[in-house]
Chains A and B, each alone.
Chain A
Amino acid sequence: MTDTPDYKAESPTLEAWRMFRRNVPALAGVVILTFIVLATLYGTFFYSGDPYNVVWAPHEPPGVTPEFPLGTDYLGRDLVAGLLTGGGPTLAVGAAAAAITMVIGITLGSLAGFYGGWVDNLLMRITEFFQVLPALLFAMVLVTLFSPSLWTIAFAIGVVSWPQTARLTRAEFLKIKELEYVTAARAIGARNKRIIWKVILPNAMPPLIVSATLTIGIAILFEAGLSFLGLGDPNVMSWGLMIGANRDYILDAWWPVTFPGLAIFLTVFAVSLIGDGLNDAFNPKLRER
């Protein structure tokens, strides 16, 4: 009947990707993060060395001995090997914590937002309870109660950071459930489960994805904080643990603390750039339509 010029389907997701691709800082974030992930995954193939072995004199400054380009720590362990090995657990804890945050937050938030009434009241009071807990302190308690393994740490971080996601999800649900396509779904006899998962959640995802990305960054900082306080998993090398172990000697040797710190900073920075880029891509102010 009438002409729609583009016969090519333009999915909203694809549209967002197109915006994202044009965002230089976000792409820089992707490049940095990819580099970091690849280095932690495959770095040890090219740079062999055990991060736990004492291989040289302690506190060898960087750039002096060619075999140990970034120097050694207070025990004489290779820092490059430490960085390459410790990145994996750090990133894993970040990702796992973000995943736990998302699962708890989205589940509770969507139930509260969709059903409203007493369900909402109950879930929101629980959320507030967790929100007013001092997060770091609570995570410390959790980690001390259970043994400080990577998974307890990820779990602890997840448990203290989900309330924000729950609130965001709830707000999105409250907004979207009033829209007519949701009523339309009810009018064709869709069950609540389908409406929540298939209709509302996909439309609520954009801000949640942004928030998930930023949560990864926060979780990495959290892990570093816990390790710094000596609550990290002592058996697994991570950037946080490196900082924590070397912090007492920071006045004698700056490098064993600074390089893992830089690695954390770069990772969180890259993740934030990506998060901001996603945010802009999902909420374009100047999109043509």
Chain B
Amino acid sequence: MTPLLDVRDLTVRFAMPRKGLFGPRPTLEAVRQVSFTLEKGRALGIVGESGSGKTTAAMAAIRLTEAASGQVLFEGQDLLTLSNDEMRAHRRNVQLIFQDPYSSLNPRARVIDIVREPMDLMEMGTMEERTTRVRDLFRLVGLRPDQLSLFPHQFSGGQRQRISIARALTTNPKLLVCDEPVSALDVAIQAQILNLLARLKDELGLSYLLISHDLGVVRHVCDDVAVMYLGKIVEKASRAALFDSAQHPYTQALLSAAPSLARRKSKGYVRPLKISGDPPSPINPPPGCAFADRCPRAQDICREVQPDLEDKGPTRVACHFPGPVAA
């Protein structure tokens, strides 16, 4: 079966400001030869710190950012070769949910117009049919239809995120790209939105590309997980494999960084795996493994040779010394 989304060797470069008036224009490789597939009805989580290229990779995969090279096959069709008009027509298949529920809704539009706008643009059905659909969507995401004529600022963060979801569902998309959908929300509200996303996935057969820096969020919604570091995927596995037997030291560090009720100050917890510092600059990436500087296992080879993503034990991992956390 053709996967819903098959991304191959996707690379994204950004031109940086010129150094001096006539100096060279440095480029930044934000995404370096990233490949992943997403089957219909499944959810893939892309995890990483800010600057890891996770958002850029997803945006390039739906052509909201221009890719330098690679292929993006959506149901077998390469999106990167579509003309602008063809791409516009294709947009109904892919929708977006953003991180910041305060800047993702036009403050000067009523929410009914915000949710209906995709249908207006695609000229779907009559005006009454559109309005009925907006009402249905409002109910579906847990909002009251009598709030339709309000403006975005009259809703709380969680409610705004529900409006965003309703807007994204208007065109019956096959794929939903969720960019940090809950990280701007209170933990108590995060649960509401995550449950809603999980429910919609089951009820509507949606596929998700979910971007998050929080493994807890990914664990709750996603079937597969890819961990990105400095523009590359460093580990990829099914949820169970990744959470139970992560092989890459970076993934292990991420897992150990997530706050946990099991670590108590009263018990004098010690974080098992600490990583210090920040990732290296993507403008001049190191020749070897990008994580080597912060890695407890790094040897000489790590600083010289870039590891490839390979099947090694329970996960696909890009590391010279993969393995479980040392006791």
Q: Chain A residues in contact with chain B, CB under 8 A?
A: 1-2, 4, 6-7, 9-13, 179-181, 183-191, 194, 199, 202-203, 289
Contact = CB atoms under 8 A, between A and B. Distances in A.
A156 to B, nearest CB: 34
Contacts of B110: 9, 11
B167 A184 contact: yes
A188 B109 CA distance: 16
Contacts of A2: 142, 156, 158-159
Interface string B162-197: 001001001100000000000000000000000000
B8 interface: no
Nearest to A1: B142
Please provide the 5 A-B residue pairs with the shortest distance between their CB atoms, ordered closest to farther.
Answer: A189-B91, A180-B104, A188-B118, A1-B142, A189-B88
A7 B91 contact: no
Contacts of A184: 96, 98, 104-105, 164, 167
13 contacts: A1-B142, A2-B158, A4-B155, A9-B149, A10-B154, A11-B151, A179-B103, A185-B106, A188-B91, A188-B95, A189-B92, A189-B118, A189-B121
B151 A9 contact: yes
Contacts of B99: 180
B151 A190 contact: no
A187 B153 contact: no
B108 A12 contact: yes
A176 to B, nearest CB: 10
A199 B106 contact: yes
B150 A10 contact: yes
B118 A6 contact: no
A276 B150 CA distance: 28
A1 B143 contact: yes
B149 A188 contact: no
A181 B151 CA distance: 14
A12 B151 contact: yes
A1 B146 CA distance: 11
Given A1-B143, A184-B167, A199-B106, A190 B121 contact: yes
Residue with the greatest number of chain B CB neighbours at <10 A, chosen from A2, A9, A181, A194 = A181
B67 interface: no
B94 interface: yes
A6 B151 CA distance: 11
B125 to A, nearest CB: 16
B237 interface: no
A187 B64 CA distance: 7
B144 interface: yes
B240 interface: no
A180 B146 contact: no
Nearest to B150: A9
A191 B120 CA distance: 13
B106 A181 contact: yes
